[in-house]
Amino acid sequence: MQADDLPDGAERPVRADARRNREKLLTVARAAFAAADDTVALESVAREAGVGIGTLYRHFPTREALVEAVYAAELDAVATSAPGLLDELPPEAALRAWMDRYAGFVATKRGMIDTLRTGWASGRIATPTTRERVTAAIGTILAEGARTGSLRADVD
């Protein structure tokens, strides 16, 4: 099927190697931003991920796009982890494990906060619903702990 044979609004599926490259770039960038700050060289991210700089820019055309993608991936991971933790752990242990994950999220965000703030202020990066998503994740754990009696019911 040619690109012009796709139905209106349909997008070509992402190749498996392109998906792997994007994930490698996000993983390397996440670690780099957690260990450093906004001065992380994009060339070093590409090199560490084992791809060329052109591949990085194909996936993330600007530093802001890479930072936004790392931030979104980290927020998704921390915000959606509560149910899985509760499946594996009692609520009080799930709360501790979740807080450890949240601390990792904060550490990653610290390394890219200047780019995030500038992007949010200019409108180039969408303002996330971080507070709502984090509050909902904690609420899930606290509600289960209150239900089982292992966490106080008067904490919201």
What are the domain boundaries of the chain? Answer: 3-148
Rounded to an integer, what distance in angstroms lies between the CA atom of residue 116 and that of residue 64?
7
Tens digits of pLDDT across the chain (156 residues): 444 555 665 566 768 888 999 999 999 999 998 887 667 899 999 999 999 999 999 999 998 899 999 999 999 999 999 999 999 999 999 999 999 999 988 888 888 888 888 888 888 887 778 889 999 999 999 999 999 999 999 987
Backbone region of residue 13 per phi and psi (left: phi > 0; alpha: psi in -120 to 50; beta: other values): beta
Q: What's this model's pTM, rounded to 2 decimal places?
A: 0.80
Rounded to an integer, what distance in angstroms lies between the CA atom of residue 75 and that of residue 118?
19
Nearest CA-CA partner of 66 in 15, 97, 94, 31: 31
Does 3.20.20.10 match the CATH number of domain 3-148?
no
What residues contact residue 114 under an 8 Å CB cut-off, 6+ apart? 37, 38
The backbone torsions φ and ψ at residue 38, rounded to the nearest 5 degrees and listed phi first, read -65, -5
